[in-house]
């Protein structure tokens, strides 16, 4: 197998007739999916998604791919293909279009409708090209064929990309539900046809590569949802992804069956389900929907609420309900149904929400105690099926953490793909398909770009480290006034502390140590303000560490007179 290396060089110029693939996100992580294809000087992008922050990234709202690799070549981009409408595949599109607004967006009807609604908030009118499964279009040198795949959102697509360098099949996110609730099957016949034609490189979803067998059908969830709503004595509150149309349909069907009204809670949920209903992907019985602001007028036993927050997001509706920071108040006897899978890394946040809901008397039904969700990603049995159908000459696992990529690579090896034709890459690693073989040839920068409020890219890893220190250890600020000519202390030190856990009275005993350290530097003729700051920082830091075994942020402020 071809493995990435931490010291990979800059890639050489792409050889004539070769195809270059660079993932700017989605390899070694769950989310931020973005792959750039290059042939004959032209570029094609597949997906442009976001990654959601973890607890050790305080203040960060979203994490984007780094566009630096293509920033000077945006005019070479033929199109941006969006495989489906999940945030980890479309969430970064507004930020890319800020840099070139007329990049054609290619996708299915629902996917384009979701991204258009998002772009409206950014005041961007996109150039759209709607495609359907079975359609074949050319974008510059890229001949693209679109295949239906089943996923946890309607209208998902895989894409086969043909160039003179070879045929690449990119599955996007998919599974092989044989009884999908919308009747739209993954097109295995088309995959087999492509396999007969000759797939030179298969790039396949790895998220569930460690899970044996086949994913359970969505239809098996319906009876469980039905039972929860039937047996609940008071309100039912269902938390789901704002894009999971299938799950919302199941909830609405059960609510209608038992004479309950449905209220949608959360801006993204209201927006997405409105789009899905208008386009015919969501069937809403007459007079089923009521405004969430009027929900208190209905008896609790006649109500179902569908909201966001299944991943414990702090600002989502469910988290705010758990914290009693929402107009809808959780009451004794309510039932809360977490109808989604648990995204890795969100376990602590979700458990906190479950505990908060339980505190107010709610019964919480979740994946850990009931069959209320099935994954949208193919398990190992399905991945093997696709590998055997397509019989690729080369294989590159995508969309997953390292353990998922390696597990998927092992599956490819078992099906007969030669080990030296299996490429395990990470974000930024450059893979060239030349003369029928895919090889790693170098690497480009593909770091995190943080969105914090209205700022994009201004927050760095150093900033986050400072935030973590402030959050964990607090800070100490030391103000001194020194003579700019002699370096001698003329006033201070004055010490201010927040969150450090240190008794301010203790500083009075310590101030003479700072004075002695500064006097010693002045005696040596030191007048450089930067050096004086370092002396203050080291002196305070050593005292705090020795006395309290703590490492707060120390901010020396030196005023010259």
**Binding-site residues:** 59, 61, 84, 86, 88-89, 151, 173, 242-244, 373-377, 399, 452
Q: Report how far residue 147's alpha carbon sits from residue 149's, in angstroms, rounded to the nearest whole number.
A: 6
Q: Report how far residue 368's alpha carbon sits from residue 132's, in angstroms, rounded to the nearest whole number.
A: 37
- Binding site for Zn(2+): what residues are annotated? 84, 86, 88-89, 151, 173, 399
Please give the backbone phi and psi of residue 353, each rounded to the nearest 5 degrees, phi first: -65, -45
| CA trace torsion 105, 111, 113, 119 (10° rounding) | -60
Q: Report how far residue 385's alpha carbon sits from residue 187's, in angstroms, rounded to the nearest whole number.
A: 12
> Which structure tokens are listed for 13?
């110029």
**C-alpha to C-alpha distances, 405 to 204, 398, 408, 418, 438, nearest whole angstrom:** 10, 7, 5, 16, 16
Q: H helices of 328-401, where?
A: 347-359, 380-390
Handedness of CA 237, 239, 243, 245 (dihedral sign): negative
| CA trace torsion 216, 394, 153, 81 (10° rounding) | 180
Q: How many CB atoms lie within 10 A of CB 179?
A: 11
Q: Which residues contact 58 (CB under 8 A, 6 or more apart)?
A: 464, 467, 468, 471
Q: Identify any residues that bridge with 159 across adjacent strands, giving them in sequence order.
A: 146, 170
User: What DSSP character marks residue 31?
Assistant: S
- Binding site for substrate: what residues are annotated? 242-244, 373-377
| CA trace torsion 300, 303, 309, 310 (10° rounding) | 100
**C-alpha to C-alpha distances, 169 to 198, 387, 434, nearest whole angstrom:** 10, 11, 16
**C-alpha to C-alpha distances, 135 to 42, 108, 124, 126, 158, nearest whole angstrom:** 22, 11, 27, 21, 11
Q: Is 263 helix (H, G, I), strand (E, B) or coil?
A: strand
Please give the backbone phi and psi of residue 495, each rounded to the nearest 5 degrees, phi first: -120, 130
Q: Which residues contact 103 (CB under 8 A, 6 or more apart)?
A: 45, 74, 77, 79, 80, 96, 97, 127
Sheet of strand 77-81, all strands in order from the earlier edge strand to the far edge = 127-130, 104-107, 77-81, 42-46, 34-39, 19-25, 429-434, 437-443
> Which structure tokens are listed for 159?
């894409």
> Which structure tokens are listed for 549?
């075994």
- Binding site for Ca(2+): what residues are annotated? 59, 61, 452
Q: Which of 226, 249, 250, 237 is nearest to 354 (CA)?
A: 237
Kindly list the catalytic residues.
205, 377
How distant is the alpha carbon of residue 117 from its chain centre?
A: 19
> Which structure tokens are listed for 525?
């003729």
Which H helix or E strand runs over 239?
Answer: strand 236-239
Q: Report how far residue 129's alpha carbon sits from residue 461's, in angstroms, rounded to the nearest whole number.
A: 37
């Amino acid at each position: 197998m071809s493995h990435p290396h931490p010291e990979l060089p800059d890639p050489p110029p792409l050889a004539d007739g070769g195809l270059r693939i660079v993932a700017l996100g989605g390899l070694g992580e769950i989310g931020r999916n973005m792959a750039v294809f290059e042939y004959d000087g032209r570029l094609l992008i597949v997906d442009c998604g976001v990654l959601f922050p973890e607890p050790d990234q305080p203040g960060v709202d979203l994490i984007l791919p780094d566009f630096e690799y293509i920033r000077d070549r945006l005019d070479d981009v033929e199109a941006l293909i969006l495989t489906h409408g999940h945030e980890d595949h479309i969430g970064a599109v507004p930020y890319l279009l800020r840099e070139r607004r007329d990049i054609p967006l290619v996708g299915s009807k629902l996917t384009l409708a979701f991204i258009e609604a998002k772009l409206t908030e950014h005041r961007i009118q996109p150039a759209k090209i709607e495609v359907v499964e079975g359609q074949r279009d050319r974008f510059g040198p890229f001949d693209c064929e679109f295949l239906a795949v089943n996923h946890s959102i309607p209208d998902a697509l895989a894409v086969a990309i043909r160039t003179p360098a070879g045929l690449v099949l990119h599955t996007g996110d998919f599974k092989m539900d044989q009884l999908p609730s919308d009747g739209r099957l993954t097109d295995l016949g088309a995959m087999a046809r492509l396999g007969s034609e000759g797939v030179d490189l298969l790039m396949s979803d790895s998220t569930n590569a460690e899970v044996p067998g086949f994913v359970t059908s969505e239809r098996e969830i319906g009876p469980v949802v039905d039972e929860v709503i039937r047996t609940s004595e008071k309100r039912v509150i269902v938390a789901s992804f704002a894009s999971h149309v299938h799950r919302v349909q199941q909830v609405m069907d059960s609510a209608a069956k038992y004479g309950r009204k449905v209220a949608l809670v959360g801006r993204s949920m209201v927006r997405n389900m409105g789009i899905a209903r208008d386009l015919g992907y969501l069937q809403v019985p007459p007079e089923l929907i009521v405004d969430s602001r009027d929900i208190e007028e209905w008896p609790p036993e006649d109500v179902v609420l569908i909201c966001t927050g299944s991943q414990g997001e702090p600002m989502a509706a469910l988290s705010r309900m758990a914290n009693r920071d929402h107009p809808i108040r959780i009451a004794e006897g309510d039932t809360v149904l977490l109808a989604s899978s648990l995204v890795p890394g969100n376990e602590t946040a979700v458990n906190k929400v479950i505990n908060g809901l339980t505190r107010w008397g709610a019964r919480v039904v979740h994946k850990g105690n009931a069959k209320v969700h099935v994954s949208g990603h193919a398990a190992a049995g399905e991945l093997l099926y696709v590998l055997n159908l397509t019989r690729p000459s080369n294989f590159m696992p995508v969309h997953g953490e390292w353990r998922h990529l390696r597990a998927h690579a092992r599956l490819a090896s078992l099906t007969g793909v030669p080990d030296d034709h299996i490429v395990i890459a990470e974000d930024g690693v450059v893979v060239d398909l030349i003369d029928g073989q895919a090889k790693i040839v170098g690497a480009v920068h593909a770091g995190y770009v943080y969105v914090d409020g209205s700022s994009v890219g201004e927050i760095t890893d150093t900033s986050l480290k400072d935030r973590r220190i402030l959050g964990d250890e607090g800070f100490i600020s030391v103000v001194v006034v020194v003579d700019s000519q002699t370096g001698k202390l003329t006033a201070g030190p004055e010490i201010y502390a927040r969150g450090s856990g240190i008794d301010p009275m203790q500083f009075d005993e310590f101030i003479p140590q700072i004075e002695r350290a500064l006097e010693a530097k002045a005696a040596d003729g030191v007048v450089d303000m930067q050096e004086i700051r370092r002396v203050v920082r080291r002196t305070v830091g050593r005292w705090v560490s020795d006395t309290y075994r703590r490492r707060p942020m120390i901010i020396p402020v030196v005023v010259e007179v």
